[in-house]
Amino acid sequence: MNPQEIIINYARKLVPLTDEEGEQFAAAFKEQRVKKRQFIIQPDFTAKSRYFVLNGSLRAYVIGEEGQDHTIQLAVEEWWISDYNSYIFQQPARMFVIAMEDSLLFQLTHEQESRLKDENHKFETFFRMLAERSVAFMQRRIISSLTQSAEERYELFVEKYPAMAYRFPQYVIASYLGMTTEFLSKIRNQRVKPKS
Amino acid sequence: MNPQEIIINYARKLVPLTDEEGEQFAAAFKEQRVKKRQFIIQPDFTAKSRYFVLNGSLRAYVIGEEGQDHTIQLAVEEWWISDYNSYIFQQPARMFVIAMEDSLLFQLTHEQESRLKDENHKFETFFRMLAERSVAFMQRRIISSLTQSAEERYELFVEKYPAMAYRFPQYVIASYLGMTTEFLSKIRNQRVKPKS
DNA sequence: CTTCAGGAATGAAGTAGATTAGGAAAAGAA
DNA sequence: TTCTTTTCCTAATCTACTTCATTCCTGAAG
């Protein structure tokens, strides 16, 4: 399947599109290849685009006061990524977004997105649904961080996203779940051998 | 200002509306009076509506395994509240939403909202922007919970929402910020008298 | 003027998880 | 291959925060 087909299929999961509308939608995107460790968003620069992952994986993170790194979002195939606070309000970013592997992205600029939304009610609906899904996803993450222990959060994560749990290095998972890599290591090894 | 004017003014902060459109928008809402300690959403029931607070205050929370209560969202005048996971997908709720004071709400049912969005592109845009703002808000909360200590989270909260900090009882603030009421008490009193 | 309930303060003891410091093993790069 | 960098593990100590138990405070209801 080519990139255009992928994004059209994806969009059709949320809104019905005619073939013509599908093409129009896909035409707003631009392919972008990035290499491992390449940044696509950096603090102080405004995020001009959001990205749909066709292939590969990325990670969004912030650096805390004492230089500690906290993963805000992960993305693999068919996920979106950006610094949304920056993208939505077109203000300077606070986050880094970096490629974890050589990746192929579909870039959508803020301008192109605006144009799409103006052109067709269906596209506006699509982005509304996308945002609502993010709200639901983030709310689940907030509930998890309030109600569960480090171990429970990890178990839940592995259960829901087994593909990610072994695709990303451990320090990334740990900082996504809000714990240190050492502690995650302990959890992982405890699970294997409760008895010698 | 009457409720209709309030909601129209509010909507106009996000999208321009003619007088006629404003009236049409406001007509989708229904006034609802609730008394302190009254529930408007309960687990296992589907949240059929979202609520705009005209007057008063509410609190959304979940009950954890060991009966501990975790505040997910707070709402005062001009804020929205619901169990969004339930509302958006029209699935059974996990949360309680309860009035903290006698309140006056503007209720918008899922059906009415759908109708609005179908009727006019502007209304669809409005709800898209509302969802995007929630995403940005929640992302900030996630970053705060990952990067800051209990004390820092409290200071930030007081700074950004001073009105809320003293309107809600301490145990509500504590459970919203992810700490115990005892610990928040300690933080508060430490700040006042670093020296006798 | 009591009584009672919801909320806040305080202190002692316990624990989940962080920090620090060691080194081993994969994985790239040359 | 060898060198370097990145990732992972183990274990001891440390601390931010919880838990538990008790007392105090305030306002509303009888």
Q: How much is the pTM?
A: 0.94
B43 touches strand D (CB under 7 A): no
**Do B125 and A139 count as a contact with CB atoms less than 8 A apart?**
no
Q: What string of pLDDT tens digits covers the 196 residues of chain A?
A: 899 999 999 999 999 999 999 999 999 999 999 999 999 999 999 999 999 999 999 999 999 888 889 999 999 999 999 999 999 999 999 999 999 999 999 999 999 999 999 999 999 999 999 999 999 999 999 999 999 999 999 999 999 999 899 899 999 999 999 999 999 999 998 765 433 3
**Shortest-distance nucleotide from A152 CA to C1':** C16
Q: B3-120 architecture in CATH?
A: Sandwich (2.60)
pLDDT tens digit sequence for B169-194 = 999 999 999 999 999 999 998 865 44
Based on its alpha-carbon atoms, the radius of gyration of chain B, rounded to whole angstroms, reads 18
pLDDT tens digit sequence for B141-153 = 999 999 999 999 9
Q: How far is the CA of A191 from the C1' of C22 (A)?
A: 24
Every domain of chain A and the residues it spans: 3-120
- Residues of A in CB contact (< 8 Å) with B are 62, 64-65, 68, 70, 72, 84-85, 88-89, 94, 117, 121, 124-125, 127-128, 131-136, 138-143, 145-147, 175, 178
C-alpha pair distances (Å), A169 with each of A77, A105, A109, A164, A175: 17, 21, 30, 9, 10
Based on its alpha-carbon atoms, the radius of gyration of chain A, rounded to whole angstroms, reads 18
Please report residues contacting nucleic strand C, using a CB cutoff of 7 A: A 66, 68, 149-151, 178-180, 182-183; B 169-171, 181-182, 185-186, 188-189
C-alpha pair distances (Å), B106 with each of A22, A62, B6: 38, 38, 10
pLDDT tens digit sequence for A18-73 = 999 999 999 999 999 999 999 999 999 999 999 999 999 999 999 988 888 999 99
CA angle B8, B9, B14 (to 5 degrees): 95
- Percent of chain A clearing pLDDT 70 (strictly above): 97
Q: What string of pLDDT tens digits covers the 196 residues of chain B?
A: 899 999 999 999 999 999 999 999 999 999 999 999 999 999 999 999 999 999 999 999 999 888 899 999 999 999 999 999 999 999 999 999 999 999 999 999 999 999 999 999 999 999 999 999 999 999 999 999 999 999 999 999 999 999 899 899 999 999 999 999 999 999 998 865 443 3
In this prediction, residue A193 carries a pLDDT of 42
